[in-house]
Structure 1
Amino acid sequence: MTLDIDWLAFLQVFLAALVASVLVVGFYSLGLRLLVRAGRVPVVAPAEFTDAITVISAKDSQRAAKAAAKSAKKSPLTAGQRQVAAIGAYISFGMCGLAVLGGLLLIVLG
């Protein structure tokens, strides 16, 4: 019994996975950066888990929301520039979703 490995196919899968991961992470990080520049800092409420290592208190959550509002007020961009940054962020998140959807289509249809 012989085991033959198609190394070219292995290399194609490796490169496709590498490019897809770079695209998804790149678009997501660009979207977050543009969202922050637009003055819309994402603040996530803490979740209560029974097996959580650390739980953020309500006071810490309020402090984070206050810091996010303060940084949004200090933005040096004009209102138009913030709007363009927000649109760019949403487009970047959309491209991230399209990259994931494209990968899923390659798996399902390939």
Structure 2
Amino acid sequence: MKNTKTDLVSEKLSVFSDQRFAENEQLKTNNCMTGRAMSKNEQFEYESFQDNDSISKYLQALIQGFEKGKLTFSSDLDNIVLEPNGLLQFGIKARKKGSKNKLSIKISWKDSKKKDTNETIFINS
């Protein structure tokens, strides 16, 4: 069976910023999909062939998600929400080996512990 560009583009992968998260939730409801609880080792992976325009749209959605502080990755089978905050570690690697090219971007952070905002502090001298 031959994979055409149309077949690859029709695969459902969505990167949603905070403003588009509600649309994704409605889509999942319409498709009778159920979410699953986050475990300690939750992950989302996806790989396919895409054209430059499609890649650009995914990168723009990532930018919007970082600006809003919420990234949602979903497909028909998986869903994960990441909330980047504080200092993030950023790495970029570009490689050209003959006719093969590779660009890797790595961004990582630790979830911050939310502090009780009602906590009273005292400072004495």
Shorter-chain TM-score: what band?
under 0.3
Please tell me whether Structure 1 or Structure 2 has the larger radius of gyration of its CA atoms: 1
Give the TM-score normalised by the residue count of structure 1. Answer: 0.22
- Structure that is richer in strand per residue: 2
Structure having greater relative contact order (Cα 8 Å, sep ≥ 6) = 1
